[in-house]
């Protein structure tokens, strides 16, 4: 590993001669490609920030100075330069997290991998340093152009702009992408800034013109300041930032380490909030990543051949594919159906819909709150919007779901990808909160499809609801094999039943249906008769489920959601309200943040497997 092998912390980095930093950058990129090819991970973003991260750790003194990464998936280089070189179990149980982690290092501060939060964190930290009498400690926030599309970032900038003597540096890592190319007015503005690298040259031209042509039509040219202002307004519209009162430096070539270092040193010396605009290239130094036009494949990648860039394993059909294909079919049938996503067009499967119906899809950037309220407006205007986001990101727009959508009884369908335990991305990406928070929303209906056929069927059912919000939620990974119902009981699907009537009714919610069937098999081996039910529409609790459960002695609910306030809790409340007295055994995700590991490992750890659930139930049933 050469130079990289000798770096156990930022102090070692600062000892490396300037003329060997390019060599170090090459070693880091080689290490990234070789390591991530064996584990999978966020490769493209990290290849793009090598020189930037080197410069950060050479100019600032972490952890005395605080470095905050927005989102954090671009922190692999930061991990290396702070002494973490074992990437053999990246994102796996017992290995390095894919994001900054306080448990790993004092150099890691913010481990929440939700975007657009870094500026608020950084202002708070910087203010605390000043209030504590430590104004010499600097705070640095690194935020991408994609994350700057989030409203929370601009709330922070609005407050930062009025601060003086606050040692805060904001690095805008501008690679024109989040997952895919960044779009919107801010993206257009940054694109304009990228074209202004000749600003100083044009200013020199202006000075020369002033000297050569002092009189025009008998009037003396304005002062040099006026020429400077005129040129600046034409070719360097960084005024958007400077008009806020925040000093702007850039744009800087993010792959010229010395140029970045120089800009950061100027920002540090300034002593007040300063934006350093750095232009980087996602995937830099690795041709397959650079040539990825869509920008999605190499943002997060599985195991691959580093020589060819081809994946070692071709994944099968995933849950997202079922939604994607059905949306295209529905689009042809219903011109009122439109789609909205928050900078995740490809990950949530709306790219095919966008290709087929480009005018009917809206990517609003990392702005979930805006997406939900805009959807409410679209519904009021006669459309039926489908808002497709990761389940974990619905948390960010709960107020809009409650007060803009549900209160106004707008027909909006929310499609929540990566619901339940997602595993390797850690605590902030598990979609374990959605059923708990939506369960308190008046009028909302939530479906948890058990397989791909149900994704398609229940999506269509949701789109027929025009006077309330609906939710469809499904997990990450390969789609489950179809599970046929043995019969229907009202709105319910009965997946398994015994001839003599059940002692135990087991409710499997969505992807937990196979687990429920496994539990039933083990209980029956111990002499307990069972029935397995898929409620299909898990919320609100149907009268059919209450009636069916009342015929048994025990009710079991298995869900991949926070067990507190989840479907099990709602079912128990529905039974009490109906006057049905019976034990309700709930199994779900405990109220705790889950460490990164595979989905199977997490489910085993929290006891959501047939063996563990059945063993627990046998002990209770006697």
pLDDT tens, position by position, 389-415: 999 999 999 999 999 999 999 999 999
Residue 473 near residue 419 (C-beta atoms within 8 A): yes
In angstroms, what CA-CA distances link 129 with 106, 125, 219, 345, 608? 17, 6, 53, 40, 44
Whether the pLDDT of residue 296 is over 80: the answer is no
Give residue 245's pLDDT: 78
Using pLDDT thresholds of 50, 70 and 90, give the confidence band for residue 193.
low
pLDDT in tens, 162-173: 888 899 999 999
Interval 135-161 mean pLDDT: 90
**130 vs 285, which has greater pLDDT?**
130
Q: How far is CA 210 from the centre of its chain?
A: 51
Helix (H, G, I), strand (E, B) or coil at 219: strand
Q: Give the integer Cα–Cα distance in Å for 492 and 282.
A: 48
Q: Is 400 helix (H, G, I), strand (E, B) or coil?
A: helix
Q: Is the pLDDT of residue 224 over 60?
A: no
Q: Which two tokens stand for residue 298?
A: 């190499």
Residue ranges for the known binding site are 73, 113-115, 145-147, 175, 286, 368
- Give the number of other Cβ atoms within 10 Å of residue 213's Cβ: 9
For residues 274-301, average pLDDT: 79
> Which stretch of DSSP H or E encloses residue 330?
helix 319-333
42 dihedral zone (left: phi>0; alpha: psi -120 to 50; beta): beta
Percent of the chain at pLDDT > 70 equals 88
The confidence band for 336, taking pLDDT boundaries of 50, 70 and 90, is very high
Q: Is 247 exposed, middle or buried (0-12, 13-18, 19+ CB in 10 A)?
A: middle
Say which of 29, 92, 137, 396 is annotated catalytic. 396
Q: Which of 549, 614, 621 is CA-nearest to residue 587? A: 614
Residues contacting residue 156 through CB under 8 Å, at least 6 positions apart: 119, 120, 122, 123
Which is the catalytic residue, given 257, 261, 368, 559?
368
Residue 123: active-site member: no
Report which DSSP code applies to 405: I
Tokens 């380490």 sit on residue: 257
Q: Which residues carry a binding-site annotation for Mg(2+)?
A: 145, 175
Asked if residue 36 lies in contact with residue 239, where contact means CB atoms within 8 angstroms, the answer is: no
Read off φ and ψ for residue 584, nearest 5 degrees.
Answer: -115, 120
User: In the prediction, which pLDDT does 192 show?
Assistant: 63
Q: Is the peptide bond before 251 cis (omega within 30 degrees of 0)?
A: yes
**Per-residue model confidence (pLDDT) at position 181:** 55
Helix (H) or strand (E) segment spanning residue 68:
strand 66-69
Alpha-helical (H) ranges within 239-281 are 239-242, 257-270
Q: What is the mean pLDDT of residues 546-553?
A: 93
**Which whole number is the average pLDDT over 437-461?**
97
Residue position matching structure tokens 């040539």: 291
Task: State residue 202's pLDDT score.
Answer: 39
Angstrom distance (rounded) from CA 25 to CA 53: 10
The answer on pLDDT for 311 being more than 60 is yes
Distance between CA atoms of residues 178 and 115, nearest Å = 10
Distance of CA 380 to the CA centre of its chain: 28
| Collapsed DSSP state (helix, strand, coil) of residue 309 | coil
- pLDDT per residue as tens digits for the range 418-432: 998 887 777 778 888
Q: Cα angle at 120 between 119 and 123, to 5 degrees? A: 80
User: Which among 282, 360, 456, 599 is annotated as catalytic?
Assistant: 282
Domains of the chain from N-terminus onward: 4-187+239-290 (3.40.50.970), 197-236 (no CATH), 319-473 (3.40.50.970), 487-621 (3.40.50.920)
Compute the average pLDDT of residues 4-30.
94
For the question of residue 89 being annotated catalytic, the response is: no
Q: What's residue 209's pLDDT? A: 40
Which of the 8 DSSP states describes residue 216? E
Question: Known catalytic residue: 368?
Answer: yes
Burial label for 546, CB within 10 Å (0-12, 13-18, 19+), is: middle
Residues annotated in the binding site for thiamine diphosphate, as ranges?
73, 113-115, 146-147, 175, 286, 368
Higher pLDDT, 503 or 99: 503
User: What values do phi and psi take at 526, rounded to 5?
Assistant: -100, 10
Q: Give the pLDDT of residue 236.
A: 44
Q: What does the alpha-carbon distance between residue 400 and residue 375 come to, in Å, rounded to a whole number?
A: 10
Span 267-272, mean pLDDT?
A: 92
Residue 237's pLDDT is what?
A: 44
pLDDT of amino acid 169? 96
Q: Would you state the structure tokens that stand for residue 302, as one six-digit string? A: 């599985």
Digit-coded pLDDT (tens) for 491-525: 999 999 988 889 999 999 999 999 999 999 999 99
User: In angstroms, rounded to a whole number, what is the distance separating the alpha carbons of residues 505 and 502?
Assistant: 6
The answer to whether residues 379 and 410 touch, using CB atoms and an 8 Å cutoff, is yes
pLDDT (average), residues 365-372: 92
Q: How many CB atoms lie within 10 A of CB 577?
A: 10
- DSSP SS3 for 472: strand
Closest CA to 49 of 88, 4, 87, 79: 79
Confidence of residue 314 (pLDDT cuts 50, 70, 90): low
pLDDT 10s digits, 62-79 = 999 999 999 888 899 999
């Amino acid at each position: 590993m050469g130079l990289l092998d000798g770096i156990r912390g930022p102090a070692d980095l600062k000892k490396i001669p300037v003329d060997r930093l390019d060599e170090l950058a090459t070693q880091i990129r080689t290490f990234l490609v070789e390591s991530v090819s064996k584990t999978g991970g966020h490769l493209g973003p990290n290849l793009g920030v090598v020189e930037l991260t080197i410069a950060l750790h050479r100019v600032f003194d972490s952890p005395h100075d605080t470095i905050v990464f927005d989102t954090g998936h671009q922190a692999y280089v930061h991990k290396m330069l702070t002494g973490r070189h074992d990437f053999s179990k990246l994102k796996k149980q017992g290995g390095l997290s894919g994001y900054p982690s306080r448990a790993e290092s004092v150099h890691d501060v913010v481990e929440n991998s939700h975007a657009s939060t870094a500026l608020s964190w950084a202002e708070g930290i910087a203010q605390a340093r000043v209030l504590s009498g430590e104004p010499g400690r600097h705070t640095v926030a690194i935020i991408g152009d994609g994350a700057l599309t989030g409203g929370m970032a601009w709330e922070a900038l609005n407050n930062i702009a009025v601060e003086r003597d606050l040692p805060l540096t904001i690095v805008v890592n501008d690679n024109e992408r989040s997952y895919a190319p960044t779009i919107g007015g801010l993206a257009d503005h940054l694109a304009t800034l990228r074209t202004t690298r000749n600003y100083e040259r044009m200013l020199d031209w202006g000075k020369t013109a002033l000297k050569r042509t002092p009189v025009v039509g008998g009037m003396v040219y304005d002062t040099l300041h006026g020429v400077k202002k005129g040129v600046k307004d034409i070719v360097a519209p960084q005024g958007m930032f400077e008009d806020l009162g925040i000093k702007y430096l850039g744009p800087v070539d993010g792959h010229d380490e010395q140029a970045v270092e120089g800009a950061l040193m100027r920002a540090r010396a300034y002593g007040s909030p300063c934006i350093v605009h750095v232009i980087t290239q996602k995937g830099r130094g690795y041709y397959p990543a650079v040539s990825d036009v869509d920008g999605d494949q190499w943002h997060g990648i599985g195991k691959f051949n580093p020589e060819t860039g081809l994946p070692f394993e071709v994944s099968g059909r995933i849950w997202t594919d079922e939604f994607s294909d059905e949306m295209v079919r529905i689009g042809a049938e219903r011109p009122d159906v439109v789609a909205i996503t928050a900078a995740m067009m490809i990950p949530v499967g709306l790219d095919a819909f966008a290709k087929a119906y480009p005018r009917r899809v809206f990517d609003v950037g990392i702005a979930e709150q805006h997406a939900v309220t805009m959807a409410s407006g679209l519904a009021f205007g006669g459309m039926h919007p489908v808002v497709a986001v990761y389940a974990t990101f619905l948390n960010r727009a709960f107020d809009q779901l409650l007060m803009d959508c549900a209160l106004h009884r707008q027909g909006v369908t929310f499609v929540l990808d990566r619901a339940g335990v997602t595993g390797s991305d850690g605590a902030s990406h598990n979609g374990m909160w959605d059923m708990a928070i939506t369960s308190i929303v008046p009028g909302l209906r939530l479906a948890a499809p058990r397989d791909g056929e149900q994704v398609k069927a229940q999506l269509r059912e949701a789109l027929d609801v025009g006077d309330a919000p609906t939710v469809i939620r499904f997990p990450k990974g390969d789609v489950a094999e179809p599970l046929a119902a043995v019969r229907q009981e009202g709105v319910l699907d009965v997946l398994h039943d015994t001839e003599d009537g059940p002692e135990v009714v087991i409710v499997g919610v969505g992807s937990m249906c196979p687990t429920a069937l496994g539990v039933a098999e083990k209980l029956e081996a111990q002499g307990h008769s069972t029935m397995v039910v898929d409620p299909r529409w898990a919320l609100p609790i149907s009268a059919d489920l209450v009636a069916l459960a009342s015929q048994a002695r025990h009710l079991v609910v298995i869900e991949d959601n926070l067990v507190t306030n989840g479907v099990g809790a709602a079912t128990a409340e529905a039974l009490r309200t109906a006057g049905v007295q019976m034990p309700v055994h709930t199994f779900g995700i405990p109220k705790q943040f889950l460490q990164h590991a595979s989905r199977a490992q997490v489910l085993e750890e929290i006891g959501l497997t047939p063996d563990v659930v059945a063993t627990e139930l046998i002990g209770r049933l006697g």
